[in-house]
Amino acid sequence: MKLYNTSSKQVETISSLSNDSKIGVYACGPTVYDYAHIGHMRKYTMDDVLVRTLEKTGWQVNHVMNITDVGHLVSDGDTGEDKMEKGARKTGKTVWEVAQHFEEDFWQKLDRMEVRRPDTAPRATDHIAEQIAQVQALEKNGFTYEIPGDGIYFDTSQDPHYGELARLQLEEQKEGARIGVTEGKRNPADFALWKFSPTDQQRAMEWDSPWGKGFPGWHIECSAMSMCYLGEQFEIHTGGIDHIPVHHTNEIAQAENATGKRPFVQYWVHHNFLLVDGQKMSKSLENFYTLDDVEERGFSPMALKMLFLSANYRDELNFTWESLAAMQKGYEKLQRKAQQLLEQSAYESWEDVPEVGAVTLSAELQKIYDDFVYQMTNDLKTPQALATVWKLTKCKDVQAIVLLKEMFEFLFSPYNKTVYADWTVKLCSGSPRTLINENVFFFF
């Protein structure tokens, strides 16, 4: 399996750090303060495609996705309102109700997209102790300083590797959007690890810490929780391309300087955006559609999935209703072709069609299948993989149904991911309220 690694800027062959078949995948999850839009769906659909492909090629995957329910401020710097408090103000609910409501809505949307839920979905608010411990480790190692009345900050000038992922230059750091206006920062790129609660008002979410009452900075949750479930160093970390210069750059700085181990992550996988009229689909631009909008207009979530698959995850994809309509037609045509092939075959039903491997394939079919696998395992070339599915529908050989079933189900069907009970590292004492396993919530 090959993937483009943002870190090396090269397509690399994946290998396991433990030299066995286990691969840890950490995906930056949603901030649950509002409804997810279909831009978010693109990212999580393609994460699922990645996990499926890894599993198909024999890796045992532990897929961890965090839920950000505190600490993500409106600006990507360290200023502005907490998004959760903003959500609470907008809906008239408590922050806890907001988090629960939008998290549940998010899972349901993934279900509708036939995107499998991750194996573990830790929430930031359940892992405050781990985040504090990581800040303490950074403090002990000499990477922090305090801005009185504001918070504990990471001193980027202490880390010679800071910004390598994004190839950040000092000049860019001076000019970049990430530079907050926070007074007292020693360097423009420095960022908050722990923010103090204001003295004149009580925050809806705040915790005691060695530095006083407050709440974690946004980036610390991901380095703390990924280590907790996947170890201090692990294989794959995913996120949108917007996370490269700030969130992931800061995660690396936190993790590597807390543990002294490099690299924190072997392969950085970044998804490009879903656009509308050439601009990123986003809440702030108010140019977004949700899955409800898609279904209300009579489209199937599978047509949306097909639209996502029609572009490589590293490329921008411009959303239009026309392109979605074309995908709906394409998806329906694919279903009809599959039905026709089934009728021509000796199999009674879809379930009777054997798996690839159980039948001998003609050279032509074998070539099509090999091409499909090649495309998927070469940096998830989903448009080319879809093209092989179309090739099958034109094939005269009735055994084509065997491949069609396999490939169609691989891309579109609900997916029973294998859960490896012995996998979880769990280096922390955090007790997640939700461990997600086989689409069932377990409450602890």
Interface with ligand AMP (CB under 6 A): 28, 30-31, 39-40, 42-43, 239-240, 242-243, 271, 273-274, 280-282
Q: Which is nearer to Zn ion, 222 or 341 (CB)?
A: 222
| Alpha-carbon span 331 to 328, nearest angstrom | 5
| Alpha-carbon span 241 to 253, nearest angstrom | 18
Which residues within the stretch 32-71 sit at the binding site for Zn ion (CB under 5 A)? Answer: none
DSSP state of 336: H
SS3 of 329, please? helix
Q: Which is nearer to ligand AMP, 45 or 136 (CB)?
A: 45
SS3 of 268, please? strand
214 binds, among ligand AMP, Zn ion, none (CB under 5 to 8 A by kind): none
Nearest distance from residue 247's CB to ligand AMP, in Å?
8
Q: Which is nearer to Zn ion, 248 or 381 (CB)?
A: 248
Q: Which is nearer to ligand AMP, 69 or 139 (CB)?
A: 69
| Alpha-carbon span 391 to 400, nearest angstrom | 10
CB atoms within 10 A of CB 216: 28
Q: Which is nearer to Zn ion, 28 or 411 (CB)?
A: 28
Nearest distance from residue 247's CB to Zn ion, in Å?
5
Indicate left, alpha or beta for 240 from its phi (over 0: left) and psi (-120 to 50: alpha): beta
* Strand pairing report for 60-65 and 22-27: parallel
| Alpha-carbon span 194 to 23, nearest angstrom | 31
86 binds, among ligand AMP, Zn ion, none (CB under 5 to 8 A by kind): none
* Strand pairing report for 435-437 and 214-216: unpaired
Nearest distance from residue 333's CB to ligand AMP, in Å?
27
Report helix angle 363-377 to 400-412, nearest 10: 20
240 binds, among Zn ion, ligand AMP, none (CB under 5 to 8 A by kind): ligand AMP
Nearest distance from residue 29's CB to ligand AMP, in Å?
7
Is residue 253 within the footprint of Zn ion (CB under 5 A)?
Answer: no
The helix (H) or strand (E) run that includes residue 91 is helix 83-91
Piece in contact with Zn ion (CB under 5 A), picked from 108-116, 217-225, 283-291, 335-343: 217-225
222 binds, among Zn ion, ligand AMP, none (CB under 5 to 8 A by kind): Zn ion
Question: Can you give the binding site for Zn ion, defined by CB under 5 A?
Answer: 28, 222
